[in-house]
Amino acid sequence: MGGIIVWVVLKRKLDSRFRGNDRVINPEQQRQKRENVEKIWEMARSKGEIANDDVERALGVSNATAERYLQELELQGRLEQVGRTGVKVIYKPKI
CATH 3.90.930.60 fits 47-95, yes or no: no
Report whether 56 contacts 62 (CB < 8 A): yes
Q: Where are the alpha helices (DSSP H) in the chain?
A: 2-19, 27-47, 52-59, 63-75
85: confidence class by pLDDT, cuts 50, 70, 90: confident
Domain positions in the chain: 47-95
Q: Which residues pair with residue 93 across a beta bridge?
A: 79
Measure the CA–CA gap between 1 and 36, rounded to whole angstroms.
50
pLDDT tens per residue, range 41-74: 999 999 999 999 999 999 999 999 999 999 999 9
